[in-house]
Structure 1
Amino acid sequence: MRRLPPMGALRAFEAGARHLNFTLAAQELHVTQAAISHQVRQLETALGAPLFERRGHALTLTAAGRRYRDRIADALDLIGAATAEVRAPEAGPLHLTVLPSLAACWLLPRLPRFYAAVPGVDVRVTSAVALWDFTDDRFDLALRSGLGGWPGAEAVRLGGESLVPACTPAVAATLQTPADLTRVRLVSDTPKQNWRRWFAVAGQTIPSLSPTVYDDAALVIQDAVQGGCVALVRRSLAADALADGRLVTPFIPDLPSDYSYWLVWKARAREHPSAPLFRDWLLAEARSSFGS
């Protein structure tokens, strides 16, 4: 096998040939002008031919230098491109788009556990109701509620959800049967017919309902915690408030939701280096939080 010249000497020659100035070549490669001159002289010795003509401060390529420049330029470009493909990308922040209610009630309280388990990963959370357009390169992952099947994306199901009446212990003390719910202010998020569906599952026929309707599940939970209403909350999102006693469930049953929670990412996209670590952690958290 032929012995190749050192890569540093080839880069020094190529930069000098482009600039026809060793000082500018040295600035580009972040070395000294003396280092460029030394590497070029080593290359000329190895090749047995002068590559530059030096006349005072003027620098020109010899005929051999021009031929050598033309032959190695494409090769150096190929080496640079191959190196960029193989080299591990700099991690940078992991960008995540999340439904506002899911971010406020579920993800953010648990995120410190991820930082403790995987130090050094910077997760940037953007809360947004709008679905992620997968041609948008701002995000690496998305947390969404839906039926699944997003075109152009891969997804893993985190778990299901159910709806359950919840209120403060003080409000619950005033309720004896599900029919008593018609005497208090009812709250839900969209769609508003969820309360009617719950009454049907509970075996109650309610002629008319006018619940307070919010467009965000987190607002439903917050209203219930403030007292004075009974909210049809998403059990997984209200889990912390139910666990610490701020909310109680005065009646059963739960109403299963048609939607599930999903972790979504672009199909066939080059992954952020930290994305698999975050996915694994999120799936472990979901197993202890969401229904089947």
Structure 2
Amino acid sequence: MNESNSSISRHRQLPPLAALRAFEAAARHESFRRAADELAVTPTAISHQIRLLEEILGLALFVRRTRQVALTEAGLRLYPTLRDGFDSFARTIAELRPRTGRVAVTLSATTLFTARILLPALGSFQAQHPDYNLRLHASDEVADLAAGMADIAVRYGAGPFAGLAAEPLLTDRFGVLCSPRLGLSAPADLRHTILLHTEWKRRAGAPDWRHWAQLAGMDDLRVAEGPRFTEDGHALQAAIAGHGAAIASLVLARAEIEAGLLVNPFGPVIAGATYHVVATPEAMASADVRAVRDWLKGDRRGGVTPGDQARLTRNRSPGQAPR
């Protein structure tokens, strides 16, 4: 091969790296402002770099609208190549970089999932990974993983989760939960029991008393009466105290069920959505994030794995009807 004519020896004709980075971030976020936040520059600087790139290419890459930008056909062709390229750069650099000191990983999840699933199992992670600092970010607001708010997250829903790698963790189930002191043994007992309510943010299809009564065929159950709570954890605490019966997650209340503080005396059970482990493709490829993912998916003692759901079904109280 004539080395002087080889494509390998010729200089690559590439635009400035800053312009390519600005375009990739703006395309991923569909926002100049969020791209600017990620790259620690001003939106004006992002706009300048993208205009420079458009001038070099002789093509428009974005359609600019009021408070919104959208990729043109040329932008849609360019974005996946740059995204995959930058992800590959980041993975290789992370693998080459020597590990110094303790590795910090931020895991984001809802407040209740953090309190009832992650915190009880935290000791097992620390025992398995003594060189890691696991930071728990508990919030009911969705953390922007692309912007670096967290490295990995647990999200609830059917997906897909745009721009993220997602793996199923466990599927939720909702049912009647109450203190065993109430002595409930059949659905008819609920007609003389205080019903505790959680005010769900999304009412459509919510696992509430109205939904449960429809499944149970109890049209006469007074599903509108009883105390209401804005936090499902507070409804659980009221149930533990014997103040009434609640419709709540059998997965998130597992510890209280196993300790005998709560019972699920009878069905039916409302099928919930699936919890997923999610991260950006770049983060999911890194060893530290994979360690957290593996721990979440069952490589630990404590916490919840999908197999726990079958065990919850077996742990019925005496006289509990099959589901």
| Residue 85 of structure 1, CA deviation | 7.6
1:266 paired residue number: 280
Q: 1:137 offset after TM fit, Å?
A: 0.8
| Residue type of the alignment partner of 1:95 | T
Q: 1:271 to 1:232 in 2, by over 3 A?
A: same
Matched, 1:134 2:149: no
Change (3 A) 1:193 1:142: closer
C-alpha contact 2:213 2:221 (8 A) present in aligned 1 = no
Is the alpha carbon distance of 1:276 and 1:246 closer, same or farther for their aligned partners in structure 2, counting shifts above 3 Å?
Answer: same
> 2:306 is aligned with what amino acid?
R
Contact 2:207 2:270 in 1 (8 A): no
Moved more, 176-185 or 158-167: 176-185
Q: Which residue, out of 97, 109, 134, partners 1:98?
A: 109
Q: Equivalent of 2:294, from 273, 280, 287?
A: 280
- Residue 213 to residue 263, structure 1, CA distance change in 2 (3 Å): farther
The match for 2:211 is 197
Contact kept? 1:161, 1:256, Cα under 8 Å? yes
Q: How does 1:67-82 map to 2 (within 5 A)?
A: none
How far the C-alpha of 1:215 sits from its partner, in A, is 3.6
The superposition leaves residues 241-279 of structure 1 with CA deviations (integer Å, 9 ceiling, x where unpaired) of: 01110111222221111x111111113347553111111
Aligned positions of 1:45-124 closer than 5 A: 86-88=96-98, 90=100, 92-124=103-135
| Number of the residue aligned with 1:38 | none
Asked whether the equivalents of residues 175 and 249 of structure 2 are also in contact (C-alpha less than 8 Å), the reply is: yes
Matched residue, 1:232: 247
Structure 1 residue 146: Cα displacement: 1.2
1:224 deviation in Å? 1.1
Q: 1:289 to 1:188 in 2, by over 3 A?
A: farther
Match of 1:242 in 2: 257
Which residue matches 1:146?
157
Counting matched residue pairs gives: 208
- What SS does the aligned partner of 1:286 have? coil
Alpha-carbon deviation of 1:89? 5.2
1:178-197 matches, cutoff 5 A: 178-189=187-198, 190=200, 191=203, 194-197=208-211
User: Once the two structures are aligned, what percentage of the paired residues are identical?
Assistant: 26
Q: Deviations over 1:155-206 (max 9, x none)?
A: 11111111110111111x1x35313313322124324662111112222113
Structure 1 Cα separation of the partners of residues 248 and 229 of structure 2? 11
Q: In the alignment, residue 123 of structure 1 is paired with which amino acid?
A: L
Shift of 1:114: 1.4
Question: Residues 124 and 271 (structure 1 numbering): CA distance in 2 closer, same or farther, change over 3 Å?
Answer: farther
Q: What secondary structure sits across from 1:130 in the alignment?
A: coil
207 and 222 in structure 1: CA distance in 2 versus 1, 3 angstrom threshold: closer
**TM score, norm. by length of structure 1:** 0.64
Counterpart in 1 of 2:173?
Answer: 162
SS in 2 for 1:152: coil
Separation in structure 1 between the aligned mates of residue 228 and residue 281 of structure 2, nearest angstrom: 36
- Partner letter of residue 185 of structure 1? I
Alignment partners' CA distance in 2, 1:109 and 1:225: 18
Equivalent residue in structure 1 for 2:267, among 246, 252, 269:
252
- Counterpart among 288, 293, 308 of residue 289 in structure 1: 308
Q: What is the deviation of 1:218?
A: 2.2
Question: Residue 188 of structure 1 contacts residue 233 of structure 1 at CA under 8 Å; is this kept in 2?
Answer: no
Pair 103,83 (structure 1): closer, same or farther in 2 beyond 3 Å: closer
Partners of 2:308 and 2:211 lie apart in 1 by: 24
More moved, 282-291 vs 140-149: 282-291
Amino acid aligned to 2:107? L
